[in-house]
Structure 1
Amino acid sequence: MSETLAQALARVGDPVELLRDVDYPAFTFPVHPEFSNWRSESRSWNETVALMDQSHHMTQLFLTGDDIAEVLSGIAVNTFSNFRPGVAKQLISVNHDGHVIGDGILFNLNHPTAQGESVVLIGHHVLIDWVRFHAERASEQEGKDIGYRLEGNSNMREGDPTFYRYELQGPHAHAVLEKLLGGPVPEVRFFHIHDFTFHLPGAAAGTTVQGLRHGMAGQPGFEFFGPYSEGEAVRQALLEAGAEHGIVRIGAKAYSVTPLESGWVPTPFPAIFGDDPLFAEYREWLPLARAGSIGGSLNGPVENFLLTPYDLGLGRSVNFDHDFIGKEALQRIAETPARRKATLIWDAADVAKIVQSQLEPGTPAKYLEWPKARYGFYQFDEVVQDGRRVGVSTDAGYVAYDQLYLSLASIDVDVPDGARVEVLWGEEPNSRKANVEPHAQVRVAATVAPAPYHAYARTTYRDL
């Protein structure tokens, strides 16, 4: 039997010490790394149109039963008053103190799967495990009608996934779709699902393709999905329709930087520690192998790593029209949030020094990966100003379209855009993870900017 998180904590004592040394890799994308080169690929969703294969890298939880909405609403900050077929929501869970456990996308499908499932939660396994725990608990202890089928990503699963998922995104996305549809693209509200009819080569009739209106990098587009057996034909149709518009296939390297442009923090540290009996029960249920790992310069007690929805720019999703874990705490936090989401623009000279240190004698700085610098599942680097910690940097990488090294951060609300700060890059002392080499900690000067960084992603695309 695998060691549970509770057993590992009893052995080590401190959750930060435990997860800093857990040999758990940063998130990887089981997709071809590059189809051309990641620099050109990552420019395409701003310049022409990009096709991203999302079929393989996310965990999926298929839910059944009449009590899905009741169970989920008790652990979600989101309203379920609009929970109906054809609508998706960014499901967010917090603990009793209002700190985030995780987030994912909840789809209420227009058409059920072959197994009859109409609701699916997609994302990293962190939130999905929390939902699984509550589904089992509600079913076994409260007699609720809720069940699930867990489908791991393609690194964890044997066989094909249930769905193909393709993101078509960029300024020419609608032109590509118009060609496939043979007419104008219907108006679809943000985070709504629409049925499209694609006429695929060799198919006697039109093929129904469901499309979610959203964009992974904050550009116009849709996420198309359907039975995996139809995926190759749909992909070829998209590529053929997009050829004249400069469509570009996106590999894993380029895809990994999309959160830096959309402003989505991929893996906030899960607030599952503390003395609350419910979370003690959860840690007994959760295997250590699914708990993740910490990377970065932030140290101190576990409280330093916890973030609220308002810290992450997710406050717009919080709705107090129902009872949920953490409601009272978030009502207090909403009045005066302590932090806000921001982009940090790293100084080119300091980034160059990190690279140069790899080519000189002595202990180098922590290796800075391109295009994505994350080396822990939860990346938390300290942000300081005048010797005072003013926030945390959570995800860093190179955005080729802007030729900038950026990171997403949560910073104190009194630190304005344009302010100068420093990111502490590297660990002191170095952790024992296999992917952490001996290195020296360095300071990287940075400028605070809005998040998302591009004005279009901040102001327009959600309203289309």
Structure 2
Amino acid sequence: MCSDNPNSNLQLVDVPSYPDISLYANVQGALHIWEGDGWKRESMSWKTGSYLASNLSGTPEMRFRGPQAQELLSRLSINNVYKWPIGKSKHLVMPDENGNIANHGLAVRDGEESFRQLASLPWAVYKARSLGLDVDISLHPIFIFQIAGPTSLEVLVNLLGDDVRDLEFLGVKDIEIPGVDAASIELSRIGMAGTLAYEVRGPIEYGPSVFDAIYLAGRPLGMQRLGWRTYVVNHTEAGFPQLGCTFLPSAFTDPDFLAMLGPTGPDMSTNKTGALPGSIDPRDFGARLRTPHQVNWGWMAKFDHEFIGREAIEAEAANPRRKTVTLRWNKEDVVDVLASQFDGGEEYKMFEFPTTPQSPAGGHADLVTKNGSPVGVSSLAVYSYYYRHMLSHSTLDLAEAVVGNEVTVHWGDHGNRIKPIRATVEPFPYLDLPSNKNVDTRGTESPAYQPRR
């Protein structure tokens, strides 16, 4: 990094400072890789090779221990946490009283009375204060490195040996990184890329040396270092709605929660000043929220326990009205947006390749209509270099959420010039490659993938 870099006062705490990294950037107050090996190569990596990403590092791991730790997570989550095997991961979805998603994230059960939540808002820490349960809560800074793609297993075998082949989907195991004298490093078979994927996690002070060890093992196989610029493309292709990208957490509507976050929390005054992007009025914060059913997570809701928001979610389960789909945007209309940059007068809002708004981006909401009537909300415009299409997640009325149906996305920011863009409902997820849970890791060869065109 050059000495005149405006981010030079920030410290890289999770990865080494590689001289060949294309760009580092200040992301949410920390220095992260923005573009590692070129966004096109990075966006191909989880389909044709593998990537190494550190984007989730820096958020504290929350540990919940004690006789009522399980009850705390049960009271907050739509999931049944009483059938949760020790040593397994679970995606916990935590709603508010109105049934909107306040928080979600990966959690691990370590023992009968021991749980951890990763890369997530401290919603459970906040709610524990009012529930009055006997739970010991502590926060620990950790690194989280994601290794994803068809050759990710080969990378890990090169580094750790054949024992990693036996790790099942959602499983967790302790590992030792050659050359790194550190305890409490674990490997988990989980990821957001849709394809075979893993996470390596441990105390943040060991992050740079662990990242380097993984990268050296993967470089002969063409591993790419994935930065924030391209990161959300995999969520969109793989059909994983993401807090802060596809939707905003309703936790941000709770002033006491924001007060607990202090200066590290978001400035929700932007809701009043018009800074929230998209063609839907920024004062319409509700358009940026989602329920579990609206993002296709309603199947996780188990009504065999009491949890915050149960009444609202149970009512929606009986009468669901919207779901999330993939929209493929019309190429000619997208090109019109690009062409307007060369015309006189007000141009259309330009796309940032590969993701608009640049990730991590929260609160983007574009109106979706059918024959002039509102039918849904579209989030984030993502250019998939693999499929050569512009894609987005859109929460649509069920009657319109039919593959092949054509709707209109109103592209732009509220109060400015808006471009109607035709879009077609496509399969969700859009990615048509073998998913992580279906890959047989006990074999020796990586599957050959061919893209849908």
- TM-score category by the smaller chain? 0.7 to 0.9
Percent identity (aligned): 27
Structure 1 pair 401/207, CA: closer, same or farther in 2 (3 Å)?
farther
Contact 1:370 1:398 in 2 (8 A): yes
2:124 equivalent among 131, 151, 154:
131
Give me the TM-score of the superposition, normalised by structure 1.
0.77
Tell me, yes or no, if structure 1 residue 422 matches structure 2 residue 411.
no
**Alpha-carbon distance in structure 1 between the residues aligned to 2:258 and 2:213:** 46
1:328: Cα distance to partner? 2.5
Give CA-to-partner distance per residue, 1:416-437, whole Å, 9 cap, x none.
11111111111332xxxxxxxx
Partner AA of 1:43 in structure 2: M
> What residue number does 1:71 align with?
72
3-state secondary structure, aligned to 2:378 = strand
1:75: Cα distance to partner? 1.7
Contact 1:94 1:326 in 2 (8 A): yes
Structure 1 pair 201/150, CA: closer, same or farther in 2 (3 Å)?
closer
Contact 2:294 2:323 in 1 (8 A): yes
Structure 1 pair 256/284, CA: closer, same or farther in 2 (3 Å)?
closer
- Unpaired segments of 5 or more residues in structure 2? 1-25, 271-275, 440-453
Partner AA of 2:436 in structure 1: Y
> What residue number does 1:399 align with?
384
Tell me, yes or no, if structure 1 residue 297 matches structure 2 residue 275.
no
> What residue number does 1:122 align with?
118
1:443: Cα distance to partner? 1.1
Structure 1 pair 87/424, CA: closer, same or farther in 2 (3 Å)?
same
> What residue number does 1:146 align with?
135
1:280: Cα distance to partner? 7.8
Contact 1:29 1:252 in 2 (8 A): no
The within-5 A match list for 1:56-455 is 56=57, 58=59, 60-83=61-84, 85-109=86-110, 119-125=115-121, 128=122, 130-138=123-131, 142=132, 144-150=133-139, 162-183=141-162, 185-198=164-177, 200-201=178-179, 209-267=185-243, 268-271=247-250, 289-290=265-266, 292=268, 293=270, 294-299=276-281, 302-374=285-357, 377-415=362-400, 416-429=402-415, 439-455=416-432
3-state secondary structure, aligned to 2:36 = coil
**Alpha-carbon distance in structure 2 between the residues aligned to 1:243 and 1:133:** 42
Give CA-to-partner distance per residue, 1:16-37, whole Å, 9 cap, x none.
xxxxxxxxx9978842222221
Structure 1 pair 235/272, CA: closer, same or farther in 2 (3 Å)?
closer
Give me the TM-score of the superposition, normalised by structure 2.
0.79
Of the structure 1 ranges 189-198 and 400-409, higher mean CA displacement relative to structure 2 is found in 189-198
Bigger RCO of structures 1 and 2 (CA < 8 A, at least 6 apart): 1
1:463: Cα distance to partner? 4.1
3-state secondary structure, aligned to 1:185 = helix
**Alpha-carbon distance in structure 2 between the residues aligned to 1:273 and 1:208:** 33
1:348: Cα distance to partner? 1.7
**Alpha-carbon distance in structure 2 between the residues aligned to 1:302 and 1:397:** 22
**Alpha-carbon distance in structure 1 between the residues aligned to 2:205 and 2:102:** 34
- Unpaired segments of 5 or more residues in structure 1? 1-24, 111-116, 152-161, 430-438
1:404: Cα distance to partner? 1.5
1:282: Cα distance to partner? 5.7
**Alpha-carbon distance in structure 2 between the residues aligned to 1:37 and 1:372:** 14
Of the structure 1 ranges 239-248 and 290-299, higher mean CA displacement relative to structure 2 is found in 290-299
